[in-house]
Amino acid sequence: MFGYYYGFDWTYLVLVLPCVILAMWAQHRVNTTFQKYESVYSRRRITGAQAASMVLRQNGVSGVRIEETSGRLTDHYDPRGNVIRLSSSVYHSTSVASIGVACHEAGHAVQYAKGYAPIQIRAAIIPLTNLGSALSMPLLILGLIFNFQNLALIGIALFGLSTLFQLVTLPVEIDASRRALASIQQGGLLYDDEYPMARKTLTAAALTYVAALAVSLAQLLRLVILFGGRRDD
């Protein structure tokens, strides 16, 4: 009943907790990997901002601004303003890690310019995802408290939108890294012995999205199981 036995919520213990631990490990790995390779400076002395610009030119993409932003690992591409924002530690740095991150964000700009389908889908469902995140738990709780099964089902469905977002995000991020690494190789942005370091940095970052998807799937499955237990009562 509700997934609880003798005071234990086995659904959280068995489903969600392992995925949360995986997410924590993935975040730790991306931080330590970036820290390790941000101290290795490229012998070509190309900054992150310059590397991002080179990736755009290689792919025939123009009109994208590259700006510096505050924070650490706050790098992102904003499609609304068509701007790549790089954190100070990436924008000015010539480290192999910074070049990898900058090229990854440029990869997102290339995706939009080339009409890459998964990133268009992700952009289209963002409003629905935000709505689902805001309403899913309140509707689910109200449905369970007042035994409104349809309301609880709507809450679970809305939560599922966030899982769908994570599912679409994963190939988007992997493809952006693939484009980045291809441009690094083709454009000679890094020497051959430096390239694996950038690849390890981006691989570590990709694991965080795998973990985020795992957490979201586990939480969705947990809600389904809990709701199923309620319906059996």
Active site residues: 105
Contact 170, 227 (CB under 8 A): no
- 85, 67 Cβ separation under 8 angstroms: yes
Sequence-distant contacts of 7-11: CB under 8 A, at least 24 apart: 11/221, 11/222, 11/225, 11/226
Helix (H) or strand (E) holding 66: strand 65-69
Task: Count other Cβ atoms within 10 Å, centred on residue 82.
Answer: 14
State how far the Cα of 95 lies from the Cα of 85, in Å rounded to an integer. Answer: 17
Our CA angle for 197, 202, 204, nearest 5°, is 95
Give strand pairing partners of 65: 83
